[in-house]
Structures are given as structure tokens and as C-alpha cells.
Amino acid sequence: MSFEQFRAPWWQPGGHVQTIWASLCARYQAQGAQPQPWLRERWDTPDGDFIDVDFSSHAVAANAPTLVLFHGLEGSSSSHYAKATALACAQRGWRLAVPHFRGCSGEPNRLLRAYHSGDVDEVDWILRRLQQGAGGDLLAMGISLGGNALACWVGVQQQAAAQLIQGAAVVCAPLDLVAGGVSLGRGLNRWIYTPMFLRTLVPKALGKWQQSPGVFDKAALLRARTLHEFDDVFTAPVHGFENADDYWIRASAKPLLKQVAVPLLLLNA
């Protein structure tokens, strides 16, 4: 494993500027290109739920590579990075698939469970099904939460991952969820980014409470002001973890990286 030091341009001195600039640049690229509609498929999951998968609609060769993009927390095919990736795939003649984690495609999923950073079973099922329809190489890419989940999967699968994908890229992922969560819970991060996530996470969780009243502490959910508090009251108990700390430790990809047996690019500022 090799590392290359990231050196920011002089006019991007900090993480906030780099984050906002990348978002604006991707939006500008996507808006400047001819928009292509997504082709959506709804897949029934083995446990009686469903996910929606959006495919790029640009023309590709029958043996073209397929890139699978796992979106970040509360992301979707409408996210700026998904649109920018679709543009890049169109320029290269690649097919793009954007599977939505449960509840992220614009419609609530059927079951109580949602999604989380270590959802390796979901990633595995998605990639195995996509491989069946791939005419050429299958490649995987994950952003943020989706990147950590993908990195967990390649670490858990080890040599078996090479039977499904030819390589993977993980972009801006919190591979150490404890460190990432602590960072998001303090300073400017707590006031800039955390409210953006909670603005959609909390209403979705309240919808789950309507499905299964009493399964978690509704009052504590409404008091949540950090991702740790949200994960402690909702994500952890709903997905089989003891609490937020247990979830963050067990779902972090960092300890699994030494087991990866496929070409893997980790891109983090």
C-alpha cells in the first residue's frame, strides 16, 4: 500500500473551501452538459423490501465497463457527484449504475431497517445482481458513507471480491467512523454539515416510528443535534448495534483495509 500526500492549491486553504468548491464545480459541470435522463429499475430485495437502481441512458457498447456508484449519506442519483460521474462515464463510453440505499430514492422503503455505513450485505447483493447483467468489466465507486460501506465489503470479501469487480475507488469516506463522527460533532462542522444531514434523517426516522411505534425513543430522536445522538437512538438499535459507539467501531472500514485483495483507490483530502 502506498500513500501520496495531498497538497491543496493556495486558494483552497482549508477543508470547508475544498468541500464547497468541489460541490459547486461538479454542479457547474453537470449543468453545462446536455442532461441525460436516468433509467430506473425497482428491485425486490430478498427480505421483502425494495431498492431503486438508476442507470445512465447514454449509448454504450455491449461490452462496455459498468461503474457502480454507491452514494453518500442521504445522497441519490440527483446528487451533484452522481451527475458529474454520469457525465464522465458518457465521455468514456461507460455504463453507470446508481443503486439507492433504502429510503434514498424518493420513496420510503417497506421495512423498519434503513441503511448504514457498514451495510456490506446490501452492497454484496447489489453487486452480485449487477454482475449478472454486465457485458464488460464491473467497477465500483463509493462516496462518503457509500465509500466506507464499499471498503468494508472489499475487506470482508477479500479474494471473493475479485470474482465480482475488477477494481474499486473510495472517495472522501469516513473510514474511521469514530474520528469522523467526532469531527462532525464539533466546531463549524456541527453547525454547517450536521444540520444538513439531520434535516432529512430525522423525518425519515419519524416515519419509521409511525411504522413501528416504540421501537426507539421518539423524544430522544427529536432532541438529537449531532450524528452521534441520532445514531445512538435510531441507526444503532434499528440495525442490530448496541449503541452509536458500537456501530461506529464495528462499521468502520479502516481495520479491514489490510485484507483487501482487489485494486482499491482511496481518495481523501
CATH code for the domain of 84 = 3.40.50.1820
Statement to judge: residues 76 and 165 lie in one domain = yes
Statement to judge: residues 82 and 66 lie in one domain = yes
pLDDT tens for the chain, 269 residues long, are 566 777 888 888 888 888 778 777 766 565 655 567 999 999 999 999 999 999 999 999 999 999 999 999 999 999 989 999 999 999 999 999 999 999 999 999 999 999 999 999 999 999 999 999 888 999 999 999 999 999 999 999 999 999 999 999 999 999 999 999 999 888 888 888 899 999 999 999 999 999 999 899 999 999 999 999 999 999 999 999 999 999 999 999 999 999 999 999 999 87
Statement to judge: residues 215 and 260 lie in one domain = no
Statement to judge: residues 137 and 30 lie in one domain = yes
Statement to judge: residues 153 and 169 lie in one domain = yes
Range of the domain at 93: 1-175+256-269
Statement to judge: residues 113 and 84 lie in one domain = yes
**Which DSSP string do the residues of the chain spell out, in sequence order?**
---------TT--SHHHHHHHHHHHHHHHHHHSPP---EEEEEE-TTS-EEEEEE--S---TT--EEEEE--TT--TTSHHHHHHHHHHHHHT-EEEEEPPTT-SSS--SSS----TT-HHHHHHHHHHHHHH-SS-EEEEEETHHHHHHHHHHHHHGGGGGGT-SEEEEES--SSHHHHHHHHTSHHHHHHTHHHHHHHHHHHHHHHHHHSTTSS-HHHHHH--SHHHHIIIIIHHHTT-SSHHHHHHHT-SGGGGGG--S-EEEE--
Statement to judge: residues 59 and 46 lie in one domain = yes
Statement to judge: residues 38 and 93 lie in one domain = yes
Statement to judge: residues 22 and 94 lie in one domain = yes
Statement to judge: residues 196 and 149 lie in one domain = no
Number of domains in the chain: 2
Statement to judge: residues 70 and 133 lie in one domain = yes
Statement to judge: residues 136 and 265 lie in one domain = yes
This prediction has a pTM of 0.93
